[in-house]
């Protein structure tokens, strides 16, 4: 049987898995999902050395507390998932694509994965390594919540559409925040991406400092 991953654990799985990750979004009440399940079980067993194949229950919203981000909603927004079953492919922490074909056979899905990855499944990854960077916001006053609100305002109202597209396309994933201990009011929004994309972001917002991050980021409040 294919492993079912709780939505709250999905981000860590995608981020830390060295193999490509194929996620089957399903629901117990969904007849097409049940029809696809035997094929997913077969592929997860046969391709386990090349691809991490897991299932995610679309009814496992992990919602209820408005202070806790809804990982299912984040996943749906990031991948553009609208229906189930949906197969979503990730590699090196980055969302690549969802399978849009009607031919749900192992050969067709494998061919799609190889085309999307740009290599055969038994070949080494060609994906560039990801690193943590911080966009530094200087002298931000207020409580931690007010500081995060200022950063949210920057992305929602002040940042260019070009910067928003970089993050919405999942070429950069916001993973946490850090605050200077010297009381300066500086705060860094931590994002994970490739070196090239970090350089692009630095050009898009030249008035903000982009630095590499060595310490683990703190979860967003």
Catalytic residue ranges: 30, 33
Beta bridge pairs of residue 178 = 188
Other C-beta atoms lying within 10 Å of the C-beta of residue 114: 15
Angle at the Cα of 160 from the Cα atoms of 156 and 166, rounded to 5 degrees: 90
Q: Tell me the C-alpha distance between 81 and 73, whole Å.
A: 10
Q: How many alpha carbons lie under 13 Å from residue 33 in its C-beta half-sphere?
A: 18
User: Torsions phi, psi of 89, nearest 5?
Assistant: -110, 130
Omega of the bond prior to 146 within 30 degrees of 0, cis? no
Beta bridge pairs of residue 184 = none
Asked if residue 24 lies in contact with residue 32, where contact means CB atoms within 8 angstroms, the answer is no
List the structure tokens of 33.
């999902």
The H-assigned helical ranges of the chain are: 7-16, 31-46, 71-79, 106-117, 144-153, 161-168, 195-204
């Amino acid at each position: 049987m294919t492993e079912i991953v709780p939505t709250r654990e999905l981000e860590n799985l995608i981020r830390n898995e060295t193999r490509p990750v194929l996620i089957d979004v399903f629901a117990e009440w969904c007849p097409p999902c049940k029809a696809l399940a035997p094929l997913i079980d077969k592929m997860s067993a046969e391709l386990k050395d090349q691809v991490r194949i897991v299932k995610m229950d679309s009814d496992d919203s992990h919602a209820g507390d408005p202070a806790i981000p809804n990982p299912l909603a984040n996943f749906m927004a990031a991948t553009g998932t609208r229906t189930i079953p949906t197969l979503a492919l990730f590699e090196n922490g980055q969302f690549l694509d969802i399978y849009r074909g009607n031919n749900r056979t192992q050969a067709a899905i494998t061919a799609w994965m190889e085309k999307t990855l740009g290599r055969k499944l038994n070949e080494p990854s060609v994906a560039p390594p990801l690193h943590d960077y911080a966009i530094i916001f200087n002298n931000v006053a207020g409580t931690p919540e007010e500081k995060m609100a200022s950063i949210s305002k920057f992305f929602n109202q002040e940042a260019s559409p070009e910067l928003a597209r970089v993050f919405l396309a999942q070429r950069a994933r916001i993973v946490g925040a850090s605050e200077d201990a010297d009381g300066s009011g500086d705060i860094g929004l931590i994002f994970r991406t490739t070196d090239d994309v970090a350089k692009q972001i630095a050009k898009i917002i030249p008035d903000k400092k982009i630095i590499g991050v060595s310490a683990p980021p703190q979860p967003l409040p």
